Amino acid sequence: MIDFYAMGSPNVVKIYLALEELGLPYTVHPVDVFGGKQFDEAFRKLNPLAKVPVIVDRDGPDGKPYTVFESGAILLYLAEKTGKLLPADKAARFDAIQWMMVQMTTVGPMFGQYVHFMRFAPKGNDYALSRYLTQVHRVLETIEARLGKAHYLGGDEYSIADIATVPWARAIPTLLGAPAAQKYPKITAWVDKIAARPAAARAFAAADEVRGKVTGFDKAAPDTLDRVFGRGQFATA
């Protein structure tokens, strides 16, 4: 059994996708991030960064409970535990791992910063908005080209590279607008192909369910929002 500390954000949706695809039994523990619950001492013992997702595998290495934070590490852990979602062949395996790393280092952070400045920052940050939006398009153009040459991001097989990337990619029309989304037909087709997997449908539904159990970002208390974003009285620089 896996204890899964969750909310409905893209980094968390990755783990829903993996758990459902792998058919691993799990129990969801909603973490009310926009209620500030990630800062509770008990949760920080699971993740010193105070962020979801986190899993605790009650049947970890040597049969002992094992805690994993950071979504990329969790995906690698689950792939290794089950021998699935990563090819056995070494070159194919690292093809998938490097594309997963593109998500961890570029897709997630660039989309994350773009959304922050678009949705939460005060007006007058045009430089930041332009920079992050440009970086988002740069990586999407790269992924579009990759999907012109391969069925999945890692190559022939559905892998943790796809699982890591699809939660942001499916939000392209919402976040960037329909005209921008039309620039990426290969990405759109790949998102649709993944969304048609029964495990993905279950994962998206489960993420919708947990979203209903935590505070939405638009309902967060101003003080909590400042703490989450490290601004106002919580800014250290």
The distance of closest approach from Cβ of residue 36 to ligand GSH in the complex, given in angstroms and rounded to an integer, is 8
Q: Least distance to ligand GSH from the beta carbon of 130, Å?
A: 23
| Closest distance to ligand GSH from the beta carbon of 225 (Å) | 10
CB 166 within 8 A of CB 17: yes
Smallest distance, Å, CB 58 to ligand GSH? 21
Pick between residue 33 and residue 194 the one whose CB is nearest to ligand GSH. Answer: 33
Closest CB to ligand GSH among 112 and 186? Answer: 112
Beta-carbon contacts of residue 145 (< 8 Å; ≥ 6 apart): none
Q: Which residue has the tokens 């620089």?
A: 237
Phi then psi for residue 49, to 5 deg, are -80, -10
Closer to ligand GSH at the Cβ: 85 or 188? 85
At residue 128, what are phi and psi to the nearest 5 degrees? -65, -45
Question: Is 38 or 159 the residue whose CB approaches ligand GSH more closely?
Answer: 38
Q: Which is nearer to ligand GSH, 169 or 188 (CB)?
A: 169
Closest approach of ligand GSH to the CB of residue 89, in Å: 26
Residue with tokens 């400042």: 226
What phi and psi values does residue 146 have, to the nearest 5 degrees? -60, -45
Closer to ligand GSH at the Cβ: 42 or 91? 42
- Please report how close the Cβ of residue 209 comes to ligand GSH at its closest, in angstroms: 17
Which residue, 151 or 231, is less far from ligand GSH as judged by CB? 231
Cis peptide before 53 (omega within 30 of 0): yes
Q: How far apart are CA 127 and CA 133, in angstroms?
A: 10
Cβ atoms of 181 and 168 within 8 Å: the answer is no
Chain positions contacting ligand GSH, by CB under 6 A: 9, 11, 33, 38, 50-53, 70-71, 228
State the Cα–Cα distance between residues 107 and 143, nearest whole angstrom.
Answer: 10
Distance, CA of 150 to CA of 187 (rounded, Å): 11
Q: Give the shortest CB-32-to-ligand GSH separation in angstroms.
A: 10
Helix extents (H) in 68-177: 71-82, 90-102, 108-115, 126-147, 160-169, 172-176
